[in-house]
């Protein structure tokens, strides 16, 4: 049976490839999901990716993840990283390991991006490696699960 991992992409990540490519890179969200799917197969895992610009939709997916057969979550909360106590509470309310991933190094950007509300309730954080941040997060999560 494959290890099932839920990938959550927050607000504005649907615009990857066109939104500030100097900060977020040229790859689209579809490109990132495809490369993650290929890596997952290589690592004997399976991913299901979901993107929403709506905080409540992301929270609902976190709440149902375990019942849907997922054993871990990778999340890029986007701007909600720096604003959402509700997202933090959702992560801490489920009994699943979660990795926080960011394309850019949030600690090297504007000061309001330096604080992550979710960082305190996740297993780890990967940031600053562009699209590779997701791949590193997947490898880290799978290693953590072993």
pLDDT digits (tens, 9 = 90+) for 83-93: 999 999 999 99
Residue 60 CB neighbours (<10 A): 14
Give the pLDDT band of residue 105 (cuts 50, 70, 90): confident
Is pLDDT at 112 greater than 90 in this prediction? no
Q: Which of 125, 131, 58, 47 is nearest to 89 (CA)?
A: 58
Report the mean per-residue pLDDT for the chain. Answer: 93
Tokens standing for residue 115: 């604080």
Q: How many domains does the chain have?
A: 1
Helix (H) or strand (E) holding 99: strand 98-102
Is 102 catalytic? The answer is yes
- pLDDT the model gives residue 64: 98
Is pLDDT at 17 greater than 70 in this prediction? yes
**Residue labelled with tokens 């399976």:** 46
Number of residues that this document lists for the chain: 146
Q: What is the pTM of this model?
A: 0.93
Q: What is the pLDDT of residues 24-77, one digit of tens each?
A: 667 899 999 999 999 999 999 999 999 999 999 999 999 999 999 999 999 999
- pLDDT the model gives residue 21: 61
What span, in angstroms and rounded, lies between the C-alpha atoms of 53 and 27?
19
Give the pLDDT band of residue 95 (cuts 50, 70, 90): very high
Q: Which of 9, 24, 117, 134 is catalytic?
A: 24
CATH number at residue 32: 3.40.50.9100
Q: Which of 9, 102, 117, 134 is catalytic?
A: 102
Q: What is the pLDDT of residues 20-33, one digit of tens each?
A: 667 666 789 999 99
Domain range holding 84?
Answer: 3-145
């Amino acid at each position: 049976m494959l290890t099932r991992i839920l990938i959550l992409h927050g607000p504005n990540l649907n615009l990857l490839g066109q939104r500030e490519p100097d900060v977020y890179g040229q790859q689209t969200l579809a490109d990132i999901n495809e490369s993650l799917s290929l890596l997952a197969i290589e690592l004997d895992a399976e991913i299901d990716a979901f993107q929403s610009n709506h905080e409540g939709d992301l929270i609902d997916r976190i709440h149902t993840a375990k019942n849907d057969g997922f054993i871990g979550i990778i999340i890029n909360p986007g701007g909600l990283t720096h604003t959402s106590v509700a997202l933090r509470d959702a992560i801490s309310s489920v009994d699943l390991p979660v990795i926080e991933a960011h394309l850019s190094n949030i600690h090297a950007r504007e000061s309001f991006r330096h604080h992550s509300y979710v960082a305190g309730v996740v297993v780890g954080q990967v940031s600053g490696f562009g699209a590779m941040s997701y791949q590193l997060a997947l490898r880290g999560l799978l290693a953590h699960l072993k």
